[in-house]
Amino acid sequence: MTAFHPTPLHATGASPGAIRLMPSSDTLHAAANAGVDDTPVAQDTLGAMIATLEEDIVFGRLHPRERLVEDELMERFGVKRHVVRDALAALDRLGLVERRKNVGAVVRSFSVQEVTELYEVRGMLETEAARRIDLQRVPAHLDRLIAIQQQHDAAVAAGDARMVFRVNLAFHRELFSLCSNQTLQKAIAEFARQTHPIRFASLVSAEYRERARQEHWQMIEALKAGDIDALVALCASHLLPSRDAYLNAQQYRG
């Protein structure tokens, strides 16, 4: 088997002070608790494997209901079976795959009702967080939020969907950190993570990426102006394209 060399999940060639992008904290936590050798190399390999498969699902390279075959993953990543099983268990905990008796692991698929309900909850959480933003905290965070969005601009311009995905997560994490309710922040992150497999149809669309880029700047302008009502409306509408794109894709997929 060919050894798997993890690809660093951060921006390359970035200017000094740029935001360094790493696998999500959920991904790293899953790797750290997968029950394998806890040396840094072992954890880095497993974490990178989980992150790579996560991106394969997010970007539609692995389709809903597609089976993940252990032997194929062993060959692809150059790892032993127990590492593959640890990775699949972590992806199961992250809600990206389902493990079925006598079938194995398959990419999770969502019913119309599940997608609708998940996005209803995300809308309630994110608009409430926007309403609770403390405008007095905005000046201290604004430069960082703008710096992240400038990286998002560059990723969109380059057509780098993978980097768009990572920077988008960083943008929303920074935005909702302006809400002082940390439990609400955690709930937003959890439900956003649950919808990662739903977002592939929009992330691969250049039109959607550009729309999201523009809406991010509108959010920044709303923060500058102290216009919470405008921010709440933007947060609500910002979620809809990824929901609708997934449902449309599933309709054609059957």
- Tally of CB atoms within 10 A around 192: 22
Tell me what pLDDT residue 45 has.
Answer: 82
Phi and psi based region of residue 16 (left: phi greater than 0; alpha: psi -120 to 50; beta: remaining): beta
- Domain 25-107: top CATH class: mainly alpha
What are the structural domain ranges in the chain? 25-107, 112-253
Tell me what pLDDT residue 41 has.
Answer: 46
How does pLDDT run along the chain (254 residues), one tens digit per residue? Answer: 444 444 433 333 444 345 444 445 555 455 545 544 555 445 688 999 999 999 898 888 898 899 999 999 999 999 999 999 999 999 999 889 999 888 899 999 888 999 999 999 999 999 999 999 999 999 999 999 999 999 999 999 999 988 998 899 999 999 999 999 999 999 999 999 888 888 776 777 889 999 999 999 999 999 999 999 999 999 999 999 888 888 887 665 55
Q: Which fold has domain 112-253?
A: Four Helix Bundle (Hemerythrin (Met), subunit A) (1.20.120)
CA angle 14, 15, 21 (to 5 degrees): 40
